[in-house]
Amino acid sequence: MDKYDIPFLFDIISRDMPHHTDINAKLPLEFDKPFPKKLMDYSHEVDDKFLNDNLANIEEASHYKLLTDDYVKRFIHQQRKYHYESGILNHDNFFKGHIIDGYLENTRFNNFIINPYNFTAAPVNGADLETNNGSGGNTAVASNYLWTNIVTGGNVTDLYDQIAVSVANSTGNVKLGSYDDSSGPNNLDYGGGSNAADSAYTWRSATEWSLSTATNWLALRLDNAATSVNFVNQSSGDAKSASVTYTDAWADPHWGSLSNEVTVLQLKIGHS
């Protein structure tokens, strides 16, 4: 970005805008309008309107150091005065504060230009996400394999702290995890420890993580091939597998080459 991206900003500053302090005001030599009857009032009016219309542009110009320190200080000063005198800070005596040195008690002003429309929303607890409805029946799942199953509809930055697999009948132990997506399982978001594979669809607590992609891959590892898991057949590639020793640590990113599968096992993630 350079000044030519916002030419109107510099054009107005250099030609039309008066410059004032608390006690005096002056006009630029290029001022091409009749001399105002009340120069100070006119100067405040022009600056206030300019702030109201162009605050985001002023902030960006300040960020890229396209304004001199003199102009930055000037806009900060005017922003404080504009918001204070407009009643925004104390509408209907909302703060019930006292005026001290021209500002409301118990309020604080920042020493930089603020764009109130630029903010980042805090992460929220995610809604349950499930790979499928499990209506295809159940199947014995090979042990010492990584089975990853696609789940869609996530919101990036949503938080999750529990995971479950729908087990029809159980023998042995299970590990559950979650990978983000990059045309398949990619980075490990969560890799759980070993737990008994109970015959249910039981939530298991997990270390909280946030989604980095809308599509994700829920992962299952078993140490006994006699365990049956509910499934449904979907498109080839909606599940992927790889030979992995059960006792191995979770790989991040995932283990090497993965084979496409159509049998999508029933898993879900949620937040407590």
Q: What is the pLDDT of residue 161?
A: 96
Q: What percent of the chain has pLDDT over 70?
A: 64
When pLDDT is cut at 50, 70 and 90, the band that residue 42 belongs to is: confident
When pLDDT is cut at 50, 70 and 90, the band that residue 179 belongs to is: very high
204-246 pLDDT, tens digit each: 999 999 999 999 999 999 999 989 999 999 999 999 999 999 9
**Hey, which bits of 29-184 come out as E strands?**
99-100, 103-104, 129-130, 138-140, 145-151, 159-165, 167-169, 173-181
Q: What is the pLDDT of residue 139?
A: 93
Distance of CA 99 to the CA centre of its chain: 37
Q: What is the pLDDT of residue 41?
A: 78
CATH number of this structure's domain 129-270: 2.60.120
The residues spanned by each domain of the chain are 3-104, 129-270
Per-residue pLDDT at 5 exceeds 90: no
β-bridge partners, 51:
none
When pLDDT is cut at 50, 70 and 90, the band that residue 12 belongs to is: low
Burial of 31 (0-12, 13-18, 19+ CB in 10 A): middle
When pLDDT is cut at 50, 70 and 90, the band that residue 15 belongs to is: low
Per-residue pLDDT at 6 exceeds 70: no
Q: What is the pLDDT of residue 94?
A: 41
Distance of CA 179 to CAs 232, 234, 251, Å? 20, 19, 10
What torsion do the CA atoms of 228, 194, 145, 224 make, to the nearest 10 degrees?
A: -50
Burial of 271 (0-12, 13-18, 19+ CB in 10 A): middle
Longest dimension (CA), the chain: 92
DSSP letters for 172-228: SEEEEEEEEESSSEEEEEEE---EE--SS---EEEEEEE-SSSSEEEEEEES-TT-E
| C-alpha–C-alpha distance, residues 44 and 86, integer Å | 12
